[in-house]
Amino acid sequence: MSQQYNMDGGYKNIKIEIHEGVATLRFNRPNQLNAMNREMMDEIISGIEEINANDKIIVAVITGEGRAFMAGADIKEYAGQTPEEFEAFQKQGVRLYESIEKAQKPWIAAVNGFALGGGFEIALACDMIVASKVAKMGLPEVFLSLVPGGGGTQRLIQKIGINRTKEMLFTGGQYSAETLLGWGIVNQVFQEEEFDQGVTGFAQKLSRRPSRAIGQLKRLANLSVTSIPFDQKIEEEGKVVTALFYSKEAQKAIHDFMHKR
């Protein structure tokens, strides 16, 4: 049975729903295209951290209400920040992206519409991106004589390489879901009318995989783009496969497979 609830006394800017091991965190400022102010950022971080701490949740989805995933930072508030407020906002942003990236469970960005600036950076911090065919994504900071401040320059390069990253950064353009599917940023694209059903099916498929193995797979995949020596990465992979092989879950799964259960 699906359960929808507000945590920590009730959120104003996000909604959280849990159904069959899948949590969906939904940005909820549709009249502002889900642009992120400081209050919303704090709520997102709190929601992500509570989802990460909930062992009953296997997979997490992050998406937006209305016609946008998130159209970046709330420029009106962003422009009026004091130096101290600006620095605090940037530090909270790092905490937000890392709370997704360093989580043991997989996070899926379900991009339903515009994902620009910080919104696209949130999607890039996720393990996978699925998108509606009408979605548009990009990093338009150059139009404000700025650069992305939430890891966009670094995470994007890891996913698509330096030449296409430079194109997206230098032009500040909005790119279609189909284009980014071809570039390897987006995993799947669904027709607009089939988007919700497609996201649910994609997330539920992952939720049926062993959570311990998925957590280790995420850690090892993320390890592959770090600067530590390759032989250490292979050594770590070997440690993980050995530990998992002797676990009760793996031994049972191997036994059942051998007996075709």
Told to judge if 50 belongs to the known catalytic residues of this protein, a careful annotator would answer no
Q: pLDDT tens across 238-247, in order?
A: 999 999 988 8
- E-assigned strand segments in the chain: 3-5, 14-19, 22-27, 59-64, 68-71, 107-111, 114-116, 128-132, 136-138, 175-176, 188-190
Fold of the domain spanning 3-207: 2-enoyl-CoA Hydratase; Chain A, domain 1 (3.90.226)
Q: pLDDT tens across 96-114, in order?
A: 999 999 999 999 999 999 9
The token duo for 217 is: 């797979």
Q: pLDDT tens across 57-89, in order?
A: 999 999 999 999 999 888 888 888 899 999 999
Q: Domain extents for the chain? A: 3-207, 211-258
Residue 17 main-chain phi, psi, to 5 deg = -130, 140
Contact 249, 211 (CB under 8 A): no
d(CA 204, CA 23): 10
Q: How do 59-64 and 68-71 pair as beta strands?
A: unpaired
Told to judge if 121 belongs to the known catalytic residues of this protein, a careful annotator would answer yes
Q: Identity (one letter) of the amino acid at 17?
A: E
Neighbouring-strand partners of residue 111: 131
The model's confidence at residue 1, banded by pLDDT at 50, 70 and 90, is very low
**Helix-helix angle 83-101:38-53, to 10 degrees:** 30
pLDDT value at position 261?
61
pLDDT value at position 2?
47
Q: Is the dihedral of CA 98, 100, 105, 108 positive or negative?
A: negative
Contacts of 132 by beta carbon, 8 Å cutoff, 6+ apart? 111, 112, 113, 177, 189, 190, 191, 192, 195
pLDDT value at position 250?
85
Q: Which residue, 96, 219, 102, is CA-closest to 149?
A: 96
Please pick, among 17, 20, 65, 121, the residue that the annotation labels catalytic: 121
Please pick, among 43, 49, 65, 141, the residue that the annotation labels catalytic: 141
If DSSP states are collapsed to H, E and C, what string results for 228-256?
Answer: CCHHHHHHHHHHHHHHHHCCHHHHHHHHH
